[in-house]
Amino acid sequence: MSRVITYSPAYTLVPTYECFNRCEYCNFRTDPGEDAWLSLTDAEDRLRSLQDTGVMEILLLSGEVHPKSPRRNAWFQHLYQLAELALSLGFLPHTNAGILSFAEMEQLKEVNVSMGLMLEQLTPRLLETVHRHAPSKIPQVRLEQLEWAGVLQIPFTTGLLLGIGETEEDWGDSLRAIAQLQHTYGHIQEVILQPHSPGSQQNFPHGAFSPETLLQVIPWARKILPDTITIQIPPNLLKDESFLLACLDAGARDLGGLSPKDEVNPDYPHPTPSSLAKILHPAGWDLTPRLPVYPQYLTRLPPQLQEVVGTV
């Protein structure tokens, strides 16, 4: 069994927190029109300050501007320009900006070494509860985007959000849908198993997802998903050091992007690689940095991006 645990040295840029969805568990969004978009100048200042720090991945994590909004094109162009800027300064962009059209994904493929979208859960029942005010959380629309990523050969990250009102059967349905896409297109690098963790901004009345149940979900996911998919867990959302080790023993092998702030879960600071190494190394695990695109997916990138990755 491999004793290597990977993570991505990352930094998150948020083009905008505004979002037309209002998921009840969200600790990220602001209402449309209430957030000033990150300027290219401010983004460049931040990125230049990160040069020579070891950061490799720039996660472009954005709220969603409605597809029919007159500002949609400006928002998309801003995403594209931020990814271009990150590339020009020696970083590797990974965009997660919610629901995108096929044409938008095709364009972003030219300036991103990987992309992502959480499937969350495939059941439509959540549209009556936590997603009742979240039009882009229609499960089949999200599943379609995962398939488009496969058609476009985009190295992709997806995942499940656990503890938002779904059932055990729903976990299986969601994992099997991801597995089927992987069998067809082979483009999914990672599946995140993200336990719901209460935050100070949310309206969702339920508590944290049970740690003990997460330990059951990880090996279950490992059995359903092809071996070509790595299971990722967010270490800042785990209850303690011993539980982190238990998750690794259960089959998780990646800790995701470790940046100064978890923008999705701002109440839960990320641990540092050095603090994680102090936990993992005595237990026999080797903590190793990785790029946001896995080596086996490099040939799927456009030639210009393959060249950039080769210089990082």
- Residue at 29: amino acid letter: R
Write down the CATH number for the domain with range 4-300: 3.20.20.70
Q: Which of 271-307 are b and which e, b meaning 16 or more Cβ less than 10 Å from the residue's Cβ?
A: bebeebbebbeeeebebeebbbbbeebeebbeeebee
Reported as type and span, the H/E element at residue 249 is helix 241-250
Provide the pairing of β-strand 92-96 with 57-61.
parallel
Q: Is the pLDDT of residue 269 over 70?
A: yes
Q: Is the pLDDT of residue 181 over 60?
A: yes
Residues 68-88 have pLDDT tens digits of 999 999 999 999 999 999 999
Rounded CA-CA distance 88/216 in Å is: 43
Which pLDDT score, from 0 to 100, does residue 172 have?
A: 97
* Residue in this structure with the two tokens 């994680």, named with its chain if needed: 276
Which pLDDT score, from 0 to 100, does residue 242 have?
A: 95
C-alpha distances out from residue 106 to 28, 77, 109, 110, Å:
27, 13, 5, 7
What is the rounded average pLDDT of the residues 234-251?
96
The domains of the chain are located at: 4-300
What is the rounded average pLDDT of the residues 101-113?
98
Q: What is the pTM of this model?
A: 0.97
Residues 21-80 have pLDDT tens digits of 999 999 999 999 899 999 999 999 999 999 999 999 999 999 999 999 999 999 999 999
Which pLDDT score, from 0 to 100, does residue 2 have?
A: 60
What percent of the chain shows pLDDT beyond 90?
Answer: 96
Residues 86-99 have pLDDT tens digits of 999 999 999 999 99
Phi and psi of 13, rounded to 5°? -105, 130
The tokens describing 151, both together, are 């058609």
- Mean of the per-residue pLDDT values of the chain: 96
